[in-house]
C-alpha cells in the first residue's frame, strides 16, 4: 500500500515551475488555435523559443539566420531584418498568457549539410545583429545565448567550446549594456558532465574572470528516472556558488521523459520510444518532477515541448492532448491554492503535493511505474465530506476521469485501488 499522510505544518506556496519550449505553432491555423486555446488554462509561466523553425516548416522564425537572412547585409539597416512571422508567433504566445525566453542562435540542423552552425566570423557584427533583435522585442526580458554548443557537433555548433565562450562573454556584455534590467544567460549545456565536467567549469570561470553577466544558468537533461532531474538543481547550485554566482537563476531549459534510444536504434524502436514519450509514464514523470522540484533551488523548468513536435510534446501532431498535457493541467490547479501542506509518502516512486484554501484541500499524487496498487490518503485531523469531494485519475486505462465507485471514504482518510504502473491522481476534497 502507498500511504500519504498530511501534516499540520504549512510549507512554502507551490511554485509554478512548468515552463515549456516552443509556443503554439502558427504554420497551421486550425491546429494553432486548438493548441493556443488548450495552453491558456495551463497558465504557462515562461516559454523558451528554440527549434521554432522545426516546429513550423517553411516559416522564418526566431533563429538569427531567419531574422537576418543575408549574412552580408548591413546590420544597422532595418531592411536587413525579417520580423513579421516571428512577431505573429510571439504575439500569439503572449495572447494566451505566457512570458518569453528568446534563444539567440540557431536550431539544430538535421540536414546532410549544415548551413548556419558555423561561429560568426565577426563578433562585433554578431552583437549588433543581436542588439537589433533585442531592441525589436522590448517586452521580452529573458535572453538566452546558444544551445548545446558544448557538444561540438556540426548540427549544433561547428566551432570549439572556447569559441562559444568568447561569443557568450562578448554578447552577454553587449546585451546587458543596452538595458541593465534584462536577464541574460545561457549556455544551454547539453550535458553538465561534458568532458568530465571541465566544460561547465571553464564557462563559469570565464564569466567570473571576464565579468560577463550570468543572470540565469541553463542546461538540459533527458532521463527515465525522475529522481535524477529532481536532484540536479542541488548540483548546479553548488557549482554556481563555488564560482561566485550565488544570485544566478537556475533554468533546466530542456527536459522530458526519455526511455533511451539504445545502442542500435531502428525505426521500429524509435517509433516505440516516441509513443512512450507521449504516454502515461511520461505524464507521471512530468508530474513527479514538478512535485519534487518544489524544495530545490531551481528557478524554472522549460519542458521540451509545449507544442506538437514528434515525441517531445504535450500534444499529438493532430493537436489532440496527450496524457502529459493533463498531468500539467492537474499540477496547474495546485498552484492556485493559498497554502501548501507538508506530507509524508511511504513509496519512493510516488511524488506528492498537498495544498488548501479555506476548507478546500487538494492533493496531487504522481506514481511513476510503481507496482503498488492500493492508495491511502490520511488527512490527519481534518474531516472529509465525500458528498462534495472527488478523485480524478489519469492512468494506462485513460483519463482523466473521476472515480465514482470502489472508493472507501472514511472521516479522516480515503482508500482506493489504482491500476498497476504509472498514474497521476488529484484529490479535491471538502473538509471540516
Share of the chain above pLDDT 70, in %: 100
Q: Which of 341, 339, 343, 328 is closest to 376 using CA atoms? A: 343
The string of pLDDT tens digits covering residues 147-203 is 999 999 889 999 999 999 999 999 999 999 999 999 999 999 999 999 999 999 999
Q: Which CATH architecture has domain 339-431?
A: Sandwich (2.60)
- pLDDT winner (highest mean) among 114-118, 266-270, 383-387: 383-387
- Between CA 164 and CA 334 the distance in angstroms is 40
Sheet with 360-367, side-by-side order of all strands: 398-402, 384-395, 423-431, 360-367, 350-357, 339-345, 2-11, 374-378, 413-417, 408-409
C-alpha cell at 287: 508530474
Q: What is the structure's pLDDT at 432?
A: 87
C-alpha cell at 258: 526519455
CB 149 within 8 A of CB 157: yes
DSSP β-bridge partners for residue 187:
218
The string of pLDDT tens digits covering residues 129-144 is 999 999 999 999 999 9
Distances (CA, A) of 238 to 10, 84, 229, 248, 317: 27, 42, 15, 11, 40
Task: Kindly report the backbone phi and psi dihedral angles of residue 238, in degrees, each rounded to the nearest multiple of 5, phi listed first.
Answer: -60, -40
The string of pLDDT tens digits covering residues 279-323 is 999 999 999 999 999 999 999 999 999 999 999 999 999 999 999
Q: How many CB atoms are located within 10 Å of the residue 193 CB?
A: 11
Rg of the chain in Å (alpha carbons): 23
pLDDT at 324 over 90: yes
Distances (CA, A) of 281 to 18, 195, 314, 322, 348: 18, 31, 13, 11, 16
Q: What is the structure's pLDDT at 68?
A: 98
- Cell 493533463 belongs to residue: 326
CB 303 within 8 A of CB 339: no
Q: What is the structure's pLDDT at 265?
A: 79
Measured CA angle at 172 (ends 170, 175), to 5 deg: 105
Share of the chain above pLDDT 90, in %: 91
Residues 398-418 have a mean pLDDT of 93
C-alpha cell at 317: 501532431
Q: Which of 304, 329, 343, 309 is closest to 394 using CA atoms? A: 329
- Between CA 297 and CA 183 the distance in angstroms is 18
Q: Where are the beta strands (DSSP E) in 50-106?
A: 99-104
- Confidence grade of residue 2 (pLDDT, cut at 50, 70, 90): very high
pLDDT at 272 over 70: yes
- Between CA 56 and CA 32 the distance in angstroms is 10
CATH fold label, 17-334? TIM Barrel (3.20.20)
| CA 242 to chain centroid | 26
- Cell 476521469 belongs to residue: 401
Residues 64-91 have a mean pLDDT of 97
SS3 string, 160-183, reads CHHHHHHHHHHHHHHHHHHCCCCE
Q: Kindly report whether the global pTM for this prediction surpasses the value 0.85.
A: yes
- Element spanning 200, H or E: helix 198-209
pLDDT at 31 over 90: yes
The string of pLDDT tens digits covering residues 355-372 is 999 999 999 999 999 998
Q: What is the structure's pLDDT at 263?
A: 66
C-alpha cell at 250: 537556475
- Between CA 363 and CA 106 the distance in angstroms is 41
Question: Domain residue spans in the chain?
Answer: 17-334, 339-431
Amino acid at each position: 500500500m502507498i500511504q500519504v499522510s498530511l501534516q499540520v505544518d504549512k510549507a512554502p506556496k507551490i511554485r509554478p515551475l512548468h515552463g515549456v519550449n516552443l509556443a503554439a505553432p502558427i504554420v497551421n491555423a486550425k491546429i494553432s488555435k486548438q493548441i493556443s486555446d488548450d495552453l491558456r488554462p495551463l497558465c504557462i509561466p515562461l516559454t523558451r523559443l528554440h527549434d521554432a523553425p522545426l516546429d513550423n516548416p517553411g516559416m522564418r522564425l526566431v533563429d538569427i539566420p531567419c531574422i537576418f537572412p543575408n549574412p552580408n547585409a548591413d546590420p544597422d539597416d532595418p531592411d536587413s531584418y525579417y520580423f513579421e512571422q516571428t512577431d505573429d508567433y510571439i504575439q500569439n504566445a503572449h495572447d494566451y498568457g505566457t512570458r518569453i525566453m528568446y534563444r539567440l542562435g540557431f536550431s539544430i540542423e538535421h540536414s546532410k549539410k549544415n548551413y548556419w552552425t558555423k561561429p560568426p566570423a565577426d563578433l562585433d557584427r554578431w552583437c549588433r545583429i543581436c542588439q537589433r533583435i533585442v531592441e525589436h522585442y522590448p517586452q521580452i526580458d529573458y535572453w538566452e545565448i546558444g544551445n548545446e554548443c558544448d557538444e561540438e557537433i556540426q548540427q549544433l555548433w561547428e566551432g570549439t567550446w572556447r569559441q562559444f565562450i568568447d561569443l557568450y562573454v562578448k554578447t552577454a556584455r553587449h546585451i546587458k549594456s543596452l538595458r541593465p534590467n534584462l536577464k541574460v544567460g545561457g549556455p544551454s549545456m547539453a550535458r553538465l558532465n561534458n568532458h568530465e565536467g571541465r566544460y561547465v567549469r571553464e564557462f563559469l570561470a570565464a564569466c567570473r574572470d571576464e565579468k560577463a553577466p550570468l543572470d540565469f544558468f541553463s542546461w538540459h537533461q533527458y532521463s527515465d528516472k525522475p529522481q535524477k532531474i529532481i536532484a540536479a538543481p542541488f548540483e548546479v547550485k553548488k557549482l554556481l556558488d563555488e564560482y561566485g554566482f550565488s544570485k544566478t537563476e537556475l533554468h533546466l531549459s530542456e527536459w522530458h521523459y526519455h526511455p533511451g534510444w539504445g545502442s542500435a536504434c531502428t525505426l521500429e524502436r524509435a517509433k516505440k520510444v516516441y509513443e512512450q514519450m507521449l504516454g502515461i509514464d511520461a505524464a507521471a514523470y512530468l508530474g513527479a518532477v514538478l512535485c519534487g522540484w518544489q524544495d530545490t533551488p531551481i528557478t524554472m523548468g522549460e519542458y521540451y515541448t509545449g507544442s506538437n513536435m514528434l515525441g517531445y510534446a504535450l500534444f499529438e501532431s493532430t493537436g489532440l492532448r496527450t496524457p502529459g498535457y493533463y498531468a500539467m493541467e492537474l499540477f496547474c490547479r495546485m498552484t492556485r491554492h493559498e497554502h501548501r501542506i507538508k506530507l509524508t509518502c511511504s513509496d519512493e516512486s510516488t511524488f506528492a503535493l498537498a495544498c488548501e484554501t479555506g476548507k478546500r484541500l487538494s492533493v496531487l499524487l504522481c506514481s511513476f511505474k510503481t507496482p503498488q496498487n492500493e492508495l491511502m490518503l490520511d488527512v490527519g485531523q481534518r474531516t472529509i465530506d465525500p458528498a462534495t469531494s472527488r478523485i480524478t485519475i489519469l492512468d494506462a486505462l485513460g483519463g482523466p476521469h473521476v472515480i465514482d465507485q470502489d472508493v472507501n471514504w472514511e472521516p479522516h482518510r480515503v482508500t482506493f485501488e489504482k491500476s498497476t504502473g504509472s498514474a497521476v491522481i488529484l484529490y479535491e476534497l471538502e473538509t471540516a
